[in-house]
């Protein structure tokens, strides 16, 4: 569930609306035929959640549903208050991640990686690199891990200082990016370790060596390391593995693999108790944010979930 390419899924969801809109531009056929084509309702698409270090706010990406919403950009970063449920538009962009002190978000926007101050809205460019993706702030706050969409290295990871200097190539292909270990010495990734299936692995930033920790035989994406260091959560699609798709977690040493729930693209709460993730509502053809208590298994849409 949502382990597949989410952007491809979104295109499929919007396809009926696009076809209905396109029908109005065709010069042949009767008005009655055009009128018989159903117009889909606006679709809610909220993706790419990122939980703030203090636990009080979840940043996420909202995809504009119509021309009116699109005035603020097709891909929009919003802030959701955990305590009040209130939502606030922040900036046009994609792939948000919090600074360790919670004062800024790194995101992809314009033609590269940028930072935005949460209080002032001020924006600063880190590095100009078209179609960069999955930026992740280091625990120390001095570097950003990211992946160019495609370059001469394929889909390898890079590091860059927050001032834009010190660009470093990491020799590990990670199509859906990576996430830092709490001590900043390693990153978790999903990569084609066997050349066929995408598994979860740990990449050591000192010896530049990656070690796979899963052998699920399907397609793993969007790894997220828990703040307490105990787990790596990720999306998984079954392919021909026989396993059920959904949100999974595995310990960094490769033990304890288990399915958590339906959904994908996880982000941990600071206490590692909760995960916010993308959930697909198949009846409404919408993607929204859900929360799970990973110990009790209780789940709910973010706006209705009761936190202890």
CATH code assigned at 54: 2.120.10.30
Q: Look at residue 129 in the predicted model and tell me its pLDDT.
A: 84
Q: Does residue 23 have a pLDDT over 90?
A: no
Torsion 124-126-128-130 (CA) sign:
negative
Domain count, the chain: 1
3-state helix, strand, coil in the chain (%, to 5): 10, 45, 45
More confident residue, 187 or 68: 187
What phi and psi, each to the nearest 5 degrees, are found at residue 291?
-130, 145
Is residue 30 domain-resident? no
Mean pLDDT for 282-303 is 89
pLDDT, residue 243, reads: 78
The answer, yes or no, to whether residue 34 has pLDDT greater than 50, is no
Supply the pLDDT for residue 290.
96
Closest to 6 in 3D by CA, of 70, 49, 41, 35: 49
Tell which residue, 62, 57, 60, 96, has the closest CA to residue 76: 62
- The mean per-residue pLDDT over the stretch 182-203 comes to 94
In a domain, 166, yes or no: yes
The residue among 18 and 307 whose pLDDT is bigger is: 307
DSSP summary character for residue 244 = P
204-232 mean pLDDT: 96
| Average pLDDT value for residue range 163-169 | 95
Query: Has residue 98 been placed in a domain?
Result: yes
The string over 166-192, giving b where at least 16 C-beta atoms fall within 10 Å of a residue's C-beta and e elsewhere, is eeeebebbbbbbbbbbeeeebbbbbbe
Q: How confident is the model at residue 240 (pLDDT cuts 50, 70, 90)?
A: low
Q: Label residues 91-124 b or e (16+ Cβ within 10 Å = b).
A: bbbbbbbbbeeeebbbbbbeebbbbbebeeeeee
Look at residue 4 and tell me whether its pLDDT is greater than 90. Answer: no
Residue 35 domain flag:
no
Whether 159 has a pLDDT exceeding 80, the answer reads yes
Q: Higher confidence at residue 290 or residue 66?
A: 290
Q: What are phi and psi of 219, to 5 degrees?
A: -135, 105
Q: Is the pLDDT of residue 242 over 70?
A: no
In a domain, 186, yes or no: yes
Domain that holds residue 87: 6-22+50-301
What does pLDDT average to over the chain? 85
Residue 43 has a pLDDT of 73
Half-sphere exposure of 289 (CA within 13 A, CB side): 29
What strands, in cross-sheet order, belong to the sheet with 274-281?
264-268, 274-281, 286-293, 299-301
Residue 270 counted as domain residue = yes
Task: Give the whole-angstrom CA distance, residue 71 versus residue 65.
Answer: 11
1 occurs within a structural domain: no
* Number of other CB atoms surrounding residue 2 within 10 Å: 24
50-54, 67-71, 74-78, 211-215: least confidently modelled range: 67-71
**pLDDT of 37 above 50:** no
Determine, yes or no, domain membership for 36: no
| Region 245-258 average pLDDT | 96
């Amino acid at each position: 569930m949502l382990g597949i390419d989410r952007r491809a899924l979104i295109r499929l969801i919007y396809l009926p609306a696009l076809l209905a809109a396109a029908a109005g531009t065709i010069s042949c056929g009767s008005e009655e035929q055009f009128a018989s084509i159903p117009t889909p309702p606006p679709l809610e698409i909220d993706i790419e959640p990122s939980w703030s270090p203090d636990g009080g706010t979840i940043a996420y990406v909202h995809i504009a549903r119509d021309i009116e919403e699109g005035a603020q950009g097709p891909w929009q970063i919003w802030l959701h208050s955990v305590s009040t449920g209130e939502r606030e538009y922040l900036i046009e962009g994609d792939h948000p991640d919090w600074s360790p002190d919670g004062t800024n978000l790194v995101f992809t926007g314009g033609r590269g990686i940028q930072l935005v101050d949460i209080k002032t809205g001020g924006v600063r460019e880190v590095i100009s690199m078209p179609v960069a993706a999955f930026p992740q702030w280091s625990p120390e706050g001095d570097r950003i891990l990211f992946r160019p969409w495609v370059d001469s290295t394929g889909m390898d990871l890079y590091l860059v200082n927050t001032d834009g200097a010190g660009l470093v190539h990491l020799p590990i292909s990670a199509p859906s990016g990576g996430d830092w270990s709490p001590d900043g010495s390693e990153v978790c990734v999903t990569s084609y370790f066997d050349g066929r299936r995408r598994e979860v692995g740990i990449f050591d930033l000192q010896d530049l060596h990656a070690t796979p920790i899963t052998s699920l035989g399907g397609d793993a994406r969007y790894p997220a390391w828990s703040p307490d260091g105990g787990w790596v959560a990720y999306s998984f699609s079954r392919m021909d593995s026989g396993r059920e798709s959904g949100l999974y977690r595995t310990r960094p040493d490769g033990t304890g693999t288990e399915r958590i729930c339906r959904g994908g693209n996880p982000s941990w709460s600071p206490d590692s108790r909760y995960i916010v993730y993308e959930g697909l509502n198949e009846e409404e053809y919408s993607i929204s944010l859900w929360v799970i208590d990973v110990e009790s298994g209780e789940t709910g849409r973010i706006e209705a979930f009761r936190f202890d």
